[in-house]
Amino acid sequence: VIAIEGPGSFAALIMETVPGTAGIMPPPAGYWAGVREICDRYGILMICDEVMAGFGRTGAWFAIDNYGAQPDLVTFAKGVNSGYVPLGGVAMTQEIADTFKDTPYPGGLTYSGHPLATAAAVATITAMEDEDAVGSAARLGTDIIGPALTGMKEEFPVIGDVRGLGCFWAIEFVDGYEGQKALAAAARAKGLVVFVAGTNRLHIVPPLNIPDEVLREGLAILEEVFSEVTAQQDAASPVKAVS
């Protein structure tokens, strides 16, 4: 696209570091380094959207920390203060910040720098540091969530893919599967509320400080529900032998 439109047509490239609503899709190794190289080659700023994936969600303070690439700007919100008060912001390199020493930024918001929202951010970040919330998210993903979801994928053919990192995961069903709502209803009946995303996914995004035993209990319920629902559907649609 850059080649077709011409590099001069682009001021910046903004992308979610790990796309969230679209399906929690961690990019492959080397992807962000490649994006960085392209941006540097053409003089384009690289902006990472970390509204969903930032502040520990992926087991790193920012998701881009998992990929060894340096963005020019990072947008953030939500996790910065656990959503107690609406707050969003942007972090930038010193080079970009220096441009505003002589050229004022021609914009603003009614509640910019809101003291209550920013106080909540300071308290949240302090608590995350004190409790090692980021390290906890990384461990939960590596030791508990990843192995559990991988095991379910191997056991249940309706699961086409599981992917994620930290406390940011998705279960994607095979094409044509329509049982996700039944799975969600069955899980709710057992005390587990799961998030049905779109028409073919469940998102597994627990709190970064969830106790191990609670997380294991939830995953066990999910596995039990998969077993029950798929068994019911198999019984309702038995495979017919073909001679």
Instruction: Please report the DSSP string for 88-99 in residue order.
Output: EEEEE-HHHHHT
Q: Where does the chain have alpha helices with state H?
A: 2-5, 31-42, 94-98, 115-131, 133-139, 146-155, 180-189, 212-236
CATH of the domain at 145: 3.90.1150.10
Q: Is residue 125 located within the same domain as residue 29?
A: yes
Range of the domain at 138: 133-235
Does 224 fall in a domain?
yes
Residues 204 and 140 in one domain: yes
Instruction: Tell which wins on pLDDT, 67 or 239.
Output: 67
The mean pLDDT of 6-11, rounded to a whole number, is: 95
How far apart CA 203 and CA 13 sit, in angstroms, is 27
Burial pattern 117-131, b for ≥16 Cβ within 10 A else e, equals beebbeebbeebeee
Check whether residue 187 and residue 224 sit in a common domain.
Answer: yes
Say if residue 50 is in the same domain as residue 151. no
Averaged pLDDT of the chain: 93
Q: pLDDT value at position 242?
A: 44
- Minimal CA–CA distance to 168: which of 136, 141, 195? 141
Domain end, chosen from 131, 160, 185, is at: 131
Q: How confident is the model at residue 231 (pLDDT cuts 50, 70, 90)?
A: confident
pLDDT of 179 reads 86
Kindly state whether residues 170 and 102 are assigned to the same domain: no
Over the stretch 97-138, which tens digit does the pLDDT of each residue have? 999 999 988 888 888 889 999 999 999 999 999 999 999 999
pLDDT tops 60 at residue 243: no
* Domain boundary residue, one of 131, 152, 173: 131
Residue 110: per-residue pLDDT? 85
Are residues 7 and 103 part of one domain? yes
Last residue of a domain, one of 131, 162, 182: 131
Number of domains in the chain: 2
Kind plus residue range of the DSSP H or E element containing 45: strand 45-49
| 186/218 Cα distance (integer angstroms) | 13
Is 141 a residue whose pLDDT tops 50? yes
Query: Bridge partners of 173?
Result: 159
Q: Is residue 149 part of a domain?
A: yes
Separation between Cα atoms, residue 37 and residue 220, nearest integer Å: 43
Domain shared by 116 and 55, yes or no: yes
Calculate Rg over the CA atoms of the chain.
Answer: 21
Going by the DSSP 8-state scheme, the letter that residue 66 receives in this structure is G
Q: Within this chain, do residues 14 and 89 fall inside the same structural domain, yes or no? A: yes
Residues 79 and 17 in one domain: yes
**165 beta partners:** 168
C-alpha span between 198 and 145 (Å, rounded): 21
Residues 166 and 134: their CA atoms lie apart, in Å, by 8
Percent with pLDDT over 90 in the chain: 84
Three-state secondary structure call for residue 109? coil
43-101 residue pLDDT tens: 999 999 999 999 999 999 999 999 999 999 999 999 999 999 999 999 999 999 999 99
DSSP-assigned letter for residue 24: -
State pLDDT tens for residues 173-189: 999 898 888 899 999 99
pTM tops 0.85? yes
Residues 121 and 21 in one domain: yes
**53 and 162 share one domain:** no
Look up residue 216 and give its two tokens: 């294991």
Asked if 16 contacts 52 with a C-beta cutoff of 8 angstroms, the reply is: yes
Q: What is the pLDDT of residue 44?
A: 97
Token pair in block for residue 90? 């942007």
